Homo-oligomer: A and B are copies of this chain.
Amino acid sequence: MTAVSGSPANGRAKLADVAKLAGVSVGTASKALSGSGRMRPETRQRVLAAVEALDFRPNQYAQSLHTGRSWTVGLMTTDGIGRFSTPVLLGAEDALGAGKISVLLCDTRGDAIREQHHLRNLMDRRVDGIIVTGRRTDPRPPLTGVERVPTVYALSPSTDPDDMSVVSDDHSGAQLAVEHLLATGRTRIAHVTGPAHHAAARDRARHTVDLLERNSLELATGRVHFGEWSEAWGRRAAEAVLRTAPDTDAFFCGNDQIARGVADALRENGTDVPGRIAIVGYDNWDIMALACRPPLTTIDTDLTEIGRQAALRLLSAIGSEPHPGLHAVPCRLVVREST
């Protein structure tokens, strides 16, 4: 099984084969490829031709062993891979792929043991950086034991404000929704959202109240309706709101499922949407927003962009230009027929 040196016949070509064919030393061949080192153009040409002829591809393990760089980042999703982490993941993969970096996927299923296990694995593989993403917007404790590895938290920020975090800008989301409703002449706005123990629900609600106050308005029912992120809750809440404040002329909902529930309830009791009551959702989850009757005006959180931004920050941190702190990606308003 001795490798016949100089012959790439058994297995793939290595740099020594290239060098031999080009009539130069291994070192020179390496320099020709990396572009470093000075040499006659014709020499470089010869090497490049040999590379072509042998279909040479450098052994990444040998490279990484030497340089210490793996051209790999770890992507840890802490809550399973779901509706929220998927677009983030895609955005990140896209931005990293452009930089010749591959993504190692780790799913912790929310289990701390598993997280620790994956983390060790990533460190063993000498990843250049790590992106951590979750499905909730509540802050999470930072990873432990990654001191030397740049880390970016996407969607779920780190509780440590000096870490790099990229999140969705709930303020801009609430603002877009409220201003859109005001612009279309609505003034008696109800807010139906998820559980109060979710930061996403709390934050969006707070900003909504603030924005209304700034316009000398208050919520139609005088309070926020916290509940669940479900259609069923949307339906129940719609009825409750109309019982309390029959003159409500708009619903701003904490997500698209709730909004769809509201829309269903209104349609079934014969209320004209958007004629009498307008509805704005949140997330722009196409499957909900488009299937809704009428199709839903909603806030797009641009999760893919959050993933991209996270990746870009990670890349610059790997290039030793860290931008620590929290970075909020603004939302976009998507107008459809419910307003």
- Where the two chains meet, the residues of A that have a C-beta atom closer than 8 Å to any C-beta of B are 57-62, 64-65, 70, 72, 75, 80-82, 86, 89-90, 93-94, 97, 102-107, 118, 120-121, 123-126, 230-232, 257, 287, 291
Most buried by B among A82, A123, A126: A126
A90 x B107 contact (CB < 8 A): yes
Closest 9 CB pairs of A and B: A61-B65, A61-B64, A105-B105, A103-B105, A231-B291, A61-B61, A102-B104, A57-B124, A81-B86
The distance from the CB of A82 to the nearest CB of chain B, in whole angstroms, is 7
B105, A93: Cβ atoms closer than 8 Å: yes
Report the nearest B residue to A120, measured CB to CB: B57
Residues of B within 8 Å of A126, CB to CB, are 59-61
For the complex, give the distance between the alpha carbons of A58 and B102 in Å. 22
Q: B60 and A62: CB pair below 8 A? A: no
Contacts of A106 in B (CB 8 A): 93, 97, 102
List the B residue with the shortest CB-CB distance to A268.
B268
CA distance A136 to B258 in the complex (A): 30
Nearest-neighbor residue (CB-CB) of A230 within chain B = B291
Choose among B57, B64, B102, B104 the residue that contacts A123 (Cβ–Cβ < 8 A): B57
The answer to whether A86 and B82 have CB atoms under 8 Å apart is yes
* 17 CB < 8 A contacts A-B: A57-B123, A60-B125, A61-B62, A61-B70, A62-B65, A72-B104, A80-B90, A81-B86, A81-B89, A90-B107, A93-B106, A93-B107, A104-B104, A105-B105, A232-B291, A257-B287, A257-B291
**Least CB distance, A13 to chain B, in whole angstroms:** 13
5 additional A-B residue pairs with CB within 8 Å, beyond A102-B125, A231-B291: A60-B124, A60-B126, A61-B61, A61-B62, A90-B107
Q: Is the CB of B81 within 8 A of A90?
A: yes
Tell me which residues across on chain B come within 8 A of A86, comparing CB atoms. 81-82, 86
Q: Which residues of B contact A105 (CB under 8 A)?
A: 75, 89, 93, 102-105
CB distance from A152 to the nearest CB of B (A): 17
For A107, the chain B residues whose CB sits under 8 A away are 90, 93-94
CA distance A59 to B72 in the complex (A): 15
**Nearest-Cβ distance from residue A212 to partner chain B, whole angstroms:** 30
A11-B79 Cα distance, complex, nearest whole Å: 33
List of B residues within 8 angstroms of A72 by Cβ: 104
A118 CA to B100 CA, complexed, in Å: 10
Would you give the shortest CB distance from A275 to chain B, in whole angstroms? 19
Please tell me if the beta carbons of B104 and A103 are within 8 angstroms of each other in the complex. Answer: yes
Q: In the assembled complex, which residues on chain B have CB atoms less than 8 Å from the CB atom of A93?
A: 105-107
Closest B residue to A232 by beta carbon equals: B291
Smallest distance from the beta carbon of A317 to chain B beta carbons, Å?
A: 20
Set of chain B residues within 8 Å of A89, measured between Cβ atoms: 81, 105
Distance between Cα atoms of A124 and B13 in the complex (Å):
12
| C-alpha gap A19/B124 in the complex (Å) | 19
